[in-house]
Amino acid sequence: MTCRRFASAFVAVTLGATPAWEPLSAQVRVLPNPPVVVDSADPVALLVARLDLEKYKGTIKGLTQFGDRRQGTTRNRDAVDWIEAQLKSYGCANVERITYEYNPPAFAERPANAPAAAAGAAPRPVSTQASGGGRARGVRTRAGVNNDSLAQPDARLRALNAEPSVNGMRQEVYCTKVGTTRPDEMYIIGGHMDGIGWGEAANDDASGSAIVMELARIFSDPAVQTERSIRFALWNNEETGLQGARAYIEQRAKLQGIEEPRGSGKYPEPKWLGMIQHDMMMFDHGMPNLDGTMRKEQRPEADVNIEFQINSKQADASMKLAFLLHQANSRYATDYPAQVGPHMTNTDSGPFQDLIPAVSLRENERGTQVGSGWDPHWHQPTDLFKTFSDADFRLGLNAAQTTLGAVGKLVGATLKR
């Protein structure tokens, strides 16, 4: 069996006879985390053990070399090329691209150098109803998108992010692990590679894209076999309204389960069994303090949020998928527990939610917490690789362990010895 190891050290409180005057600190012993024990008889546990913090960080670092990767720019296209090269280097089969057009009206995005709000402008009202449902509670601060280049003090990064987005062709990359006995069925694992805010989009969403890429690396090992197929998708245009995910559905949905060529046993678009999205995976420092500041360290009780949309047509099946991930977290994640919430919103699983079971993994509840300012780096110049500590990166790694554990079971993964 695997052992759970929480991010915070286990705290043991001595309950014996203690003088009334003795301070609480004298009654507390901080114990070391127990070692993680891998069940060698469980192939999924062996695959999860191949996830590595430094490799995960390295993939995030590789994505941040392209700055914020805003869609419609050279840096975005260069990042797409880099992702494709990485997937091919892993041996991931059928590396392909979705090509689509994105031509919004000129007012759809603020000019890159425009401030978020005019000086002296009246503050916008703050709603208590969160996006996707639920009710925002607790301490809340303003959240928005930085569009001011001068807010980025790093001249090199400011220059890298300077090219504005232009209308036209967009592309995104995906690859596939082909199943051995049910190649006509698959699960989709996604993250979005584009970002905004004049930073490096390290958390939003290199942290989620790196999970997708690291799972692609592990499942692409020829020694790993799966009964069902898995598709690893790196969406584009998430920040402008999920256009990349929508383009994928528009182009590929009607091709599901069609053998091509007939009699070949090949299915270019296997039937979709479920979609698992990863979007902002690393920052769970709790709600803001009363003065609007945030604690500097990852909170000891940080967790992986698994969300489904309770109002979707696939709510029951999505909830079941969410709890399968929750169960996998209990078995395979080394540090941080998971919790399930019913208000998935504002990410690439949304366009899938009425079609198939769809869930999103997050650092916090998207609507009620991220939308209330619980991540001060969201769409800001401070969303940089160097902003985050190993405790933050480890939260993302635990999400990867959660997804790999669940998907490994769902697709019947085995490992040749």
Quick one: pLDDT at residue 156? 97
pLDDT tens profile 52-108: 999 999 999 999 999 999 999 999 999 999 999 999 999 998 999 999 999 998 755
Task: Kindly tell me the sign of the dihedral angle through the C-alpha atoms of 18, 19, 20, 23.
Answer: negative
Of the listed ranges 86-90, 123-127, 139-143, 293-297, the least confidently predicted one is: 123-127
Quick one: pLDDT at residue 25? 52
pTM over 0.85: yes
Quick one: pLDDT at residue 4? 43
> Are the CB atoms for 279 and 350 separated by under 8 Å?
no
> Are the CB atoms for 238 and 194 separated by under 8 Å?
yes
Q: Is the pLDDT at 222 greater than 60, yes or no?
A: yes
Kindly give the residue spans of alpha helices, DSSP state H, lying in 68-191. 74-90, 155-160
Which of the two residues, 14 and 94, has the higher pLDDT score? 94
pLDDT tens profile 175-218: 999 999 999 999 999 999 999 999 999 999 999 999 999 999 99
Under DSSP, is residue 83 helix (H, G, I), strand (E, B) or coil? helix
Percent of the chain with pLDDT over 70: 86
Please state the three-class secondary structure of the chain as a single string. CCCCCCCCCCEEECCCCCCCCCCHHHHEEECCCCCCCCCCCCHHHHHHCCCCHHHHHHHHHHHHCCCCCCCCCHHHHHHHHHHHHHHHHHCCEEEEEEEEEECCCHHHCCCCCCCCCCCCCCCCCCCCECCCCCECCCCCCCCCCCCCHHHCCCHHHHHHCCCCCCCEEEEEEEEEECCCCEEEEEEEEEEECCCCCCCCCHHHHHHHHHHHHHHHHHHCCCCEECCEEEEEEEECCCCCCCHHHHHHHHHHHHHCCCCCCCCCCCCCCCEEEEEEEECCCCCCCCCCCCCCCCCCCCCCCCCEEEECECCCCCHHHHHHHHHHHHHHHHHHCCCCCEEEECECCCCCCHHHCCCCCEEEEECCCCCCCHHHCCCCCCCCCCCCHHHCCHHHHHHHHHHHHHHHHHHHHHCCCEECC
Q: Domains (ranges, CATH) in the chain?
A: 41-117+128-415 (3.40.630.10)
| Mean predicted confidence (pLDDT) in 280-303 | 95
Banded model confidence at residue 142, pLDDT cuts 50, 70, 90:
confident
**Tokens standing for 291?**
């003065």
Mean of the per-residue pLDDT values of the chain: 89
> Are the CB atoms for 231 and 87 separated by under 8 Å?
no
- Rounded to whole angstroms, what are the CA distances from 159 to 82, 199, 203, 237, 377? 20, 11, 21, 22, 20
Distance (Å, whole) CA 100 – CA 367:
29
Banded model confidence at residue 24, pLDDT cuts 50, 70, 90:
low
**Tokens standing for 15?**
């309950």
> Are the CB atoms for 175 and 232 separated by under 8 Å?
yes
pLDDT tens profile 230-246: 999 999 999 999 999 99
